[in-house]
Structure 1
Amino acid sequence: MSSALPAGKKMWIRAFYGFGPEGDGYVGWSQEAGRNHILKHIQDGDLIMIYGAGSVETEKTLRSHVLGFVQVDATPIRDVDKSSEDSLAWKKSRGWQEKWTYGIPVRRAWRVDEKVMISTIAFKTYRPEAGQAIGVWGAELQEEEIKQALKIKVSETNVFGEPPVTSDALTNSPFGEEFKPTRGFPGTSGKREASYQDGETFLYLAKYDGNAHAFLGKPKTFGPQPAAFKIGVSNDVKARMAQLNSGIPPAAKARWVPEMEASFPDRKAAENAEQLYKDNCKLESLGGEFFWGKAEDASKAFRSLPGVSRF
């Protein structure tokens, strides 16, 4: 099981009254300032762990318990953009029409299959006295807390406005299973209620241009030296490289640089090629989308992929 998220991804926590992505395909805020605050920090593909708020509106058995995880996009929307009619009617029946109207879209969601208290997972970030602030602003989890979160057993569930989950979706398994190299962590495409357009997507092979041996604790040997590589998909490779390098100090010489890329008509086609690379390349897996090996082996595996060799 993986003990970390894919490179560049973060996990946040947020308190709410319940967990119903099947009808509410968004995470909402009642004040635009709260939503805009998270947009300054969150990235496409980040995760939010939802737990039951400690208020009377939350069912007693759910209060302070982890309810589920959602993968979101950093895109501002309104509740009506990604809510079912039944969900909007439910809000209206309780006089909550003006609540949680400012949102960001949920693309995928996982419901927790076991009873877990938020305090046992977010043991550094969560504080009962800060519950209201976390509900409004959210909070980013630390690495050791994420490791605990990835042990929770979950099942993927449908999200309103997104394609239904497939037969191979994660079921009653540790959340970290979603991040194994054999599974990847795909984005989503298809018909959506929010303003999202699928289209040309690039498969890229990036190389760590720096002292990868020191970076990974690998001993140097005689002859041509192996290197660290990353396979991935993006609709903007340049922006993706900037995101990957954002955690590296500006003064450092090392950077992730694109070695090869190929265009595909949509994200699904690019992700299929990415999975073929993960399944068939001869490089050593470093977890997630990262590999270790000779440059010629990395590039040969890339060029051999269907839809790549012609570029």
Structure 2
Amino acid sequence: MLDLADRPVWLTSFWGFSPDTWGCVGFSDNWRREKFLPDARKGALVVIYVTKGKGPDNQRGKVVGILETTGETGHIKQFLSGDAWEEKEADPKSRGKWQYAVRVSRAWIIDESEWQNVDDIFAETYGRSSAEAIGANGVRLSDEEAARLANLTVHEVPVYGQTGKLDSVVRPFSDALKPSRAVIPAKEPYFVGEVDGPKHLYILRLVGGVANWLGEPVDDEDERMIIKVGFSKSPYMRRDQIQSAYPAGRFKWEIMFPEPVPDTAPYLDAATAIKGEDAMKARLFKGGARVLGGEFYLAEEWLVRKCWTAGKMAAEGAEKAG
């Protein structure tokens, strides 16, 4: 079973998962909040699935994140960013709702590759409760169902109003509440550590206009791209972590390689993946790519594809040699 130090684990639904602007769990009636408060004071964990009728298309019906609650209560406006409050009140479907709030202290997003349908992972609880009741009141998961969270890959994300240090190590949820393990030292301007273990190589591509980003004319702009090369337990999480360091706007990171992302990381450990990463960098340098700092490059598409092949060959060679 998942050892959560006797923490209760609840299930509820949101219209999305944005704890950086929505730092609470809200109830439409005080009696509903009072029913939840004894568990909240124990640091209850609330598993979030996105409603099937509203929310991002690729998240609907999926279990996408986990919140840690506190015993602090207040009006929902206290725990929302100004933009989130204005958006909530501008929508007739949410105006005036969920006013009785409980503050959230920490939040974790589940790796996109591991999002599961709520009626699959929590079939027992979801099957015996209506979606309306789950959304309005929340329901407590059994120990058996809560234990299914243990091996889900997560990383911590910011919570609105949070003052503590963020621990963005990528790891199984069973380790998420434990003290951080040692991580590989930072090698890049924006770094989020992760424990060692199986790794993917990846290439991320920045979408939104090369010349606009660089602030200068670029010859054959349609044939050039800004990329980041690296390795990670999860390309999805690395993409999201890097994106979270940028303000919202037209520029978005997308996974270029691997495509598709395999269910299982192909390389045994970081040492093996580093061989592949170094080979990608060497191929980019040899091909004349422009270094933009850290592991970011401006390169033509043909060269990016060549560098991906070089990285895979080097990592596979390192595995065979090891």
Q: How does the TM-score come out when normalised to structure 1?
A: 0.53
Is 1:78 the counterpart of 2:75? The answer is yes
Partner of 1:92: 89
User: Which residue of 2 is the match for residue 4 of structure 1?
Assistant: 2
1:120 CA displacement = 2.8
Does structure 1 retain, via aligned residues, the 8 Å contact 2:169–2:180?
Answer: no
- Cα distance, 1:27 vs structure 2: 0.7
Runs of 5+ consecutive residues of structure 2 not aligned to the other structure: 182-322
Q: Distance in 2 between matches of 1:26 and 1:181?
A: 24
- Matched with 2:160 is 160
Per-residue displacement from partner, 1:175-214 (whole Å, max 9, x unpaired)?
A: 112144666xxxxxxxxxxxxxxxxxxxxxxxxxxxxxxx
Asked if the contact 1:5/1:179 (under 8 Å) is kept, the reply is no
Match of 2:141 in 1: 141
Which of 46, 49, 52 is the matching residue for 2:47? 49
Q: Which amino acid aligns with 1:170?
A: V
CA shift, 1:165, in A, is: 4.3
Q: Measure the CA separation in 2 of the matches of 1:113 and 1:128.
A: 27
Partner-residue secondary structure (3-state), 1:156: strand
The amino acid of 1:58's aligned partner reads: G
Secondary structure of the corresponding residue to residue 127 of structure 1: helix
Q: Distance in 2 between matches of 1:33 and 1:61?
A: 33
| Aligned residue identity for 1:105 | R
What residue identity is the alignment partner of 1:146?
A
Question: Structure 1's 151 and 108: CA in aligned 2 closer, same or farther, altered over 3 A?
Answer: same
Report if aligned partners of 1:47, 1:70 keep a CA contact under 8 Å in 2. Answer: yes
- Structure 2 counterpart of 1:61: 58
Identical positions, percent: 29
Question: Which SS does the other structure have where 2:176 is aligned?
Answer: helix
More displaced 10-residue stretch of structure 1: 83-92 or 33-42: 33-42
Aligned to 2:12: 14
Q: Which is higher, the Rg of structure 1 or of structure 2? A: 2
2:25 to 7, 24, 27: 27
Counterpart Cα distance in 2 of 1:170 and 1:120: 27
Cα deviation, residue 164, structure 1: 5.8
Q: How far did residue 32 of structure 1 move?
A: 2.3
Work out the CA distance in 2 between the residues paired with 1:46 and 1:69. 10
Structure 1's unaligned 5+ residue stretches are 184-311
Contact 1:9/1:43, CA 8 A, preserved across alignment = no
Name the CA distance, whole Å, in 2 between partners of 1:179 and 1:107: 12
Aligned-CA RMSD value: 2.1
- 1:80 aligned counterpart, secondary structure: helix
Equivalents in 2 of 1:81, 1:119: separation in Å? 33
TM-score, normalized by length of structure 2? 0.51
CA drift of 1:174 comes to 1.6
Count of residues paired in the alignment:
178
Q: How does 1:268-307 map to 2 (within 5 A)?
A: none
CA distance in structure 1 between the partners assigned to 2:157 and 2:180 by the alignment: 20
Separation (CA, whole Å) in 2 of partners of 1:137 and 1:68 = 18
Q: CA deviation digits over 1:250-270, x for unaligned, max 9?
A: xxxxxxxxxxxxxxxxxxxxx
User: Per the alignment, in what secondary structure is the counterpart of residue 39 of structure 1?
Assistant: helix
Question: Does residue 37 of structure 1 match 2:8?
Answer: no
Secondary structure at the aligned position of 2:155 is classed as strand
In the TM superposition, residue 98 of structure 1 has moved relative to its aligned partner by 0.2
Q: 1:11 and 1:127, CA in 2 relative to 1: closer, same or farther beyond 3 A?
A: same
- 1:125 aligned counterpart, secondary structure: helix
Bigger proportion of residues as helix: 2
